[in-house]
Chain A
């Protein structure tokens, strides 16, 4: 495997970036121990993500995508290797995560959920209220600000999660299959909403998905992962102009080619993994 060089700045075929990358991961390993059984979730993962890139991690189920994201978020310690995130503003939070499952806190109203990250940083009350309101507006939840999550649909809950992450204006945004539990139409709407909010500031995003369509729609660059133990095996730039729209993407022949290329790779990983008896 040559993954050691893949994914590094300039390794994706674009013109070399003069600024140092936002996120640098070097030779990352993660081994989980349960009793006397060991699971290697990540094996020698190296990658570099430039500032402002929307980077999508794509790989078969169980390959360690969530684990990688949790390590980036500091929720899990690596077994070996290093993670560096270059800070721009020292007072901004390092990262904010949108979780795969329901990460909305059920005992807080929509408003309290969105304000949570800001409150934890001890910002002045007025600023918290103002910023919370702005983002509730952006995700169209202002009329539901005093509702509890049990009164919301799945799509609305994920909007709360998005607003809660974006409102803290973190250095990097981490998203773990935020829409995977939603129906297709709601997913389309939320993907467009996400792109709209993201395009305002273009923060660095690491986005995990196993939907190829979603990866192409959202990403500047796709990092393909192998089956477990997860490694980065290929980096594919997405040469599509922004703003992107689902309608125009569907009829773009380049998208079809990309889809096939990614699918070939993923199928190899999934099938190859199965045949090796794991």
Chain B
């Protein structure tokens, strides 16, 4: 008995971090080699974009590529700085952010609710699944005219455009998350007499959460794709509007700033969602 306890105590969460310096020499060498290859990897990930940018700059400076369409990165950078300094960029980013946030909530919340209902109740799934299957393949861009007819030219139609595109991946992943819960966990809940509500909060919800978050990640990416489409029509601000008007007025550097901003937003959103997922699913 004694032996087993001491062995297992080494796994104790509190004691794991403390024992780092007690590694034997041999493992230490292996660990260093691994660290070295890690930092090399990190260097390479940075190197890729830098090489592309440097090459681009060089070719543009030498007039080997058409700078009307591919202005040198230094020019894009100065445009970016100017747009940040004047508050111009923030004005548009703020507009897009609030549309994405509201649209995302309008799509994700019903998606989660309906997805849970589909996963928990077979009749709901039978009723709704074919509808979702039929509607999902329609590109949201193709729905924009219809959404404008339904919801007008104002903010509402933009929210609804984003909501529509976010809804589908969220509802499908949530339903799949619930349906994918191991039957044994359902048996455990029944065996210990869980009420419907307890089953929902203690088994179905946490069990579905990881897959549900994958849906939210997809929804987030799609929301960014959609915002450009939503802001192309009848908008006077927003990142999509910036890209679209810059393109039409041939301010290509400004357009590139818009594209870069979208890329950065996407990266930040996925980081934020991953952090949220880690906080809500600490057992993973």
Contact = CB atoms under 8 A, between A and B. Distances in A.
B283 A107 contact: yes
Among A95, A108, A120, A153, max chain B CB count under 10 A is at A120
Interface in A151-183: 151-153, 155-156, 164, 168
Contact of B11 (A109, A121, A153): A153
Contact of B192 (A101, A117, A143, A150): A117
Contacts of B281: 107
A93 B191 CA distance: 10
A189 B191 CA distance: 26
Interface residues of A, number: 41
B176 to A, nearest CB: 17
A103 interface: yes
B18 interface: no
Contacts of B8: 144, 153, 155-156
A149 B207 CA distance: 14
B192 A96 contact: yes
B4 A155 contact: yes
Contacts of A144: 8, 11-13
A231 B132 CA distance: 48
A93 B9 contact: no
B13 A120 contact: no
B3 to A, nearest CB: 9
Interface in B1-46: 1, 4-5, 8-9, 11-14
B1 A105 contact: no
Interface string A61-76: 0000000001001110
A99 B207 contact: no
B75 interface: no
Among A106, A146, A147, A186, max chain B CB count under 10 A is at A106
A106 B283 contact: yes
B203 interface: yes
A97 B193 CA distance: 12
Given A116-B202, A155-B4, A150 B12 contact: no
Nearest to B206: A107
Among B14, B185, B189, max chain A CB count under 10 A is at B185
Contacts of B184: 99, 101-103
B1 A189 contact: yes
A93 B283 contact: no
Nearest to B284: A150
Given A103-B184, A107-B206, A116 B11 contact: no
B137 interface: no
B122 to A, nearest CB: 18
Interface in B188-218: 188-195, 198, 202-203, 206-207, 209
A8 interface: no
Contacts of A198: none
A103 B183 CA distance: 10
A95 B282 CA distance: 31
A186 B185 CA distance: 24
Contacts of B88: none
A79 interface: no
Contacts of A140: 5
A140 B8 CA distance: 10
A259 interface: no
Interface of A: 70, 73-75, 93, 95-97, 99, 101-103, 105-109, 116-117, 119-121, 140, 143-144, 146-153, 155-156, 164, 168, 185-186, 189, 192
28 contacts: A74-B190, A74-B191, A93-B192, A97-B188, A99-B187, A102-B184, A103-B184, A105-B203, A106-B283, A107-B206, A107-B209, A107-B281, A107-B283, A108-B206, A109-B283, A116-B192, A117-B193, A120-B189, A144-B13, A147-B13, A148-B283, A152-B11, A153-B8, A155-B4, A155-B8, A156-B8, A185-B4, A186-B4
